[in-house]
Structure 1
Amino acid sequence: MKGHILLLGVSMLAACTSVTGINSRQDGHLTVTSRARWDLVSWNRVRSAGVSEAQSYCRKQQKQMHAVAVHSTGVRGMTTQTVEVIFDCI
């Protein structure tokens, strides 16, 4: 029973954010953007979703993710929170 509740909780957290695919920038870096789907999602959760996606992308290439910059917009409860992670796989 506890396992089902934990799985449901993790699924709910994953449903709180959306993450774009990995894109290349003209300066050679990679970027991924994550957005809150609900107004009550914390900035930290939105940032973590983007960073996790970047780490997963680099891990598939057997490299490590190096964050170059993290930009955020939006205010919790007022506007949609968006976080852009700019990174390299090294």
Structure 2
Amino acid sequence: MKGRVLLLGIGMLTACTSVTGVNSRQDGHLSVTSRARWDFVSWNHVRSASLKEAQAYCHKRKKEMHAIQVHSEGLRGVTSQTVEVIFDCI
């Protein structure tokens, strides 16, 4: 029973964050952006979603992800939270 509750909680948090696909930037780096769909989602969860997407992208190419910059906007419970991760696959 505890396992089901845990899975439900993880599923709800995952559904509360949207992540864009990986985009190429003009400066040669890559970027991915995640957004909280609900005000109660923590900034850390939104940031983690972007980092995981960037790591998965590089892993598919058999490379390591190297974060260049992490930009964030918004305030929990006040405005929607957005996190952009700029990275390279090395």
TM norm structure 2: 0.95
Partner amino acid, structure 2, of 1:69: Q
2:34 counterpart residue number: 34
Deviation at 1:40, TM superposition (A): 1.1
Deviations 1:40-86 (A, max 9, x none): 11111100000010001101111110000000011111111000000
Q: 1:34 aligns to what SS in structure 2?
A: strand
**Structure 1, unaligned runs of 5 or more:** none
In structure 2, the partner of 1:15 is 15
Task: Please give the residue correspondences for 1:1-90 in structure 2 after superposition, counting only pairs within 5 Å.
Answer: 1-90=1-90
**In 1, Cα distance between the equivalents of 2:89 and 2:31?**
11
* C-alpha distance in 1 between matches for 2:6 and 2:74: 29
Give the Å deviation of 1:6: 2.1
What is the DSSP-based 3-state SS (H/G/I as helix, E as strand, rest coil) of the residue aligned with 1:66?
A: strand
Matched position secondary structure for 1:80? coil
Per-residue CA shift, 1:23-54, capped at 9, x if unaligned? Answer: 00011100000000001111111000000100
Moved over 6 A (4+): none
The root-mean-square deviation of aligned C-alpha atoms, in Å, is: 0.8
CA distance in 1, matches of 2:87, 2:22: 10
TM-score (norm 1): 0.95
Distance 1:61 1:51 in 2: 16
How many residues are aligned here?
90
